[in-house]
Amino acid sequence: MTASVVHCPALFLTAPASNQGKTTITAALARYFTNQGKVVRVFKTGPDYLDPQILAQASKQPVEQLDIWMAGDDYCQDKLFQAAQVADLILVEGAMGMFDGDPSSADLAARFGIPMAIVMDVKGMAQTAAALATGLANFRDDVQVAGLIANRCGSERHAELIRDALPENLPLLATLKRDEAITLPERHLGLVQADEVKDELEIRFEAAVEWLKETQDTGLLELPKAVVFYSINKKVSVNKQTDAEQTIEQRLAGKTIAVAKDAAFSFIYDANLIALQSMGAKIVFFSPLKDQILPEADALWLPGGYPELHAKALSDNTAMRQAILAFYQTGKGILAECGGMLYSLNDLTDLNDDCYPMLGILEGQGAMRGKRGCQGMQTAVIPQGDIRGHAHHRSRSANTPEPVGYGRRQRHPAPGEAIYQQKGLTASYLHLFFPSNLDATAKLFLADQQG
């Protein structure tokens, strides 16, 4: 094997915990350099659908996930190398706290040598912020920390106290004042979908650029140091579960996959679409909310989203419900993930306790359950093969059929999410990451050929 290298400035934005302002600052930084004519490629650590939508609009470039467990080292390395070939700057937004999870944001940054900037909400503390940042920076020897970003800093005196308490090798990169005008809108599963608030986001992005410029510490407004990204000249196999990669190529050649995509269904990894297309599939989108008929297709994908916010409209569109029921009866492949599974059930009770009929292609009832929910990394263990993914939902299902399998939790022995299969339908709360097993993914969409 031979290796190629490319150099590109890169910065990994992390934090001591969630809700410190990582996404807001990553989006602001992406727009700041984009406005200067730079090509900024942004990646999001871990399974996330909403943050990438925001970051893609801010950077005007596609945003994909990087996750060592879900995708594998080779996959992440290949994605970074491809981005470095075209970008003037690579930004990676971490998940949760800097060392949370296994693998953590720090593991990913260390693996690829990307320096980290610590984003910290410093409201209510001063020198303690410096102490926390110093502890994070020195917790592991293999992690490079470029400096601290003090978010929600009250005044220049506040910033001075933090700046003076930091060691010389840990600079204060930016001091950002409290400003609700740049805060990103949220709802019960996280940020609001970008498509719903595009114009508002544009206003907030440009306001955030001015917000960055007001800092007394300008280190964040300079391009970070270049990182060396490597490409190994071989086929990238994400999970290395098969040595017959050449047999997977074009497995879906000549097949059309119809993908539900609208305000109710939008939790779609770009990586999943790319994976399907790499196997030869043609992708067509349709709206269960607005369309009356299905496009001509060999398989359907009903991804996650917010069907609970649109339950009445989904229920009222009886033409689409009948079209999907007729498609199900053919035995062709249907993948229904999380919100797509709720749509597949007999009925769904929304956040207002109103109950609406759904597709009825899977026995059972779905209901929202407030703030309690389930989340975590899991592997779908199914006859077609193991596919990695995650769960994140605040609903429950009841009176469903006997599962064909369960998710295998990353670190816990208890069974994960139930997985149902009947006719050509595969349904579960799990969101699958297709590149983790292309062969098994192809089999799901070729259900009518499985005999």
10-residue mean pLDDT profile of the chain (451 residues): values are 82 96 94 97 89 92 92 93 97 95 94 98 96 98 97 94 96 90 57 64 90 92 95 53 54 96 93 95 98 97 95 98 98 97 97 95 90 76 94 88 93 88 96 95 80 36
Which CATH entry fits the domain spanning 245-449: 2.60.120.260, 3.40.50.880, 3.40.50.970, 3.50.30.50?
A: 3.40.50.880
Cα separation, 300 vs 370, whole angstroms: 29
> What is the distance in angstroms between the CA of the first residue and the CA of the last residue of the chain?
40
Contacts of 111 (CB under 8 A, 6+ apart): 68, 73, 76
Query: How many Cβ atoms from other residues are within 10 Å of residue 195's Cβ?
Result: 13
CA 450 to chain centre: 31
Spatial separation of the C-alpha atoms in residues 194 and 196, rounded to whole Å: 5
- Round the CA-based radius of gyration of the chain to a whole number and report it: 23
**Distant-in-sequence, close-in-space partners of 17: CB < 8 Å, separation ≥ 6:** 96, 97
Residue 16: CB atoms within 10 Å: 19
Domain boundaries, the chain: 3-231, 245-449
Starting at the earlier edge strand, list the strands of the sheet with 282-286.
282-286, 256-260, 299-302, 333-337, 425-428, 415-422, 405-409, 374-382, 385-393, 431-432
pTM, full prediction = 0.87
Q: What is the DSSP string of 146-164?
A: EEEEEEEE--HHHHHHHHH
Q: Please check whether the domain covering 3-231 is classified as CATH 3.50.50.60.
A: no
Give yes or no for a contact between 431 and 392, defined as CB atoms under 8 angstroms apart: yes
Would you state the structure tokens that stand for residue 435, as one six-digit string?
A: 């590149």
Question: What was the pLDDT predicted at 183?
Answer: 74
- Which residues lie closer than 8 Å to 87 by C-beta, 6 or more apart? 8, 39, 40, 41, 61
CATH topology match: 3-231 vs 245-449: yes
338: annotated active-site residue: yes
Q: Collapse the DSSP code of 66 into the 3-class scheme (helix H, G, I; strand E, B; otherwise coil) and give the result.
A: strand
**How far apart are the C-alpha atoms of 344 and 234, rounded to whole Å?**
40
Instruction: Give the 3-state secondary structure percentages of the chain, helix then strand then coil, rounded to 5.
Output: 35, 30, 35
427's CB contacts (< 8 A; 6+ apart) are: 334, 335, 336, 337, 340, 341, 344, 362, 419, 420, 421
**Token pair recorded at residue 46:** 């871990």
Residue 16 tokens read as 């001591």
- 147 phi and psi, to 5 degrees? 155, -175
Q: In the chain, how long is the greatest CA-to-CA distance? A: 72
d(CA 103, CA 101): 5
Residue with structure tokens 């800097």?
Answer: 98
User: What CA–CA distance (Å, rounded) separates 8 from 85?
Assistant: 8
- Reduced to 3 states (helix: H, G, I; strand: E, B; else coil), residue 197 is coil
What pLDDT is attached to residue 196?
A: 63
Spatial neighbors of 443 by CB under 8 A, at least 6 apart, are 384, 385, 450
Q: Are strands 415-422 and 405-409 parallel, antiparallel or unpaired?
A: antiparallel
- Catalytic residue of the set 8, 153, 338, 355: 338
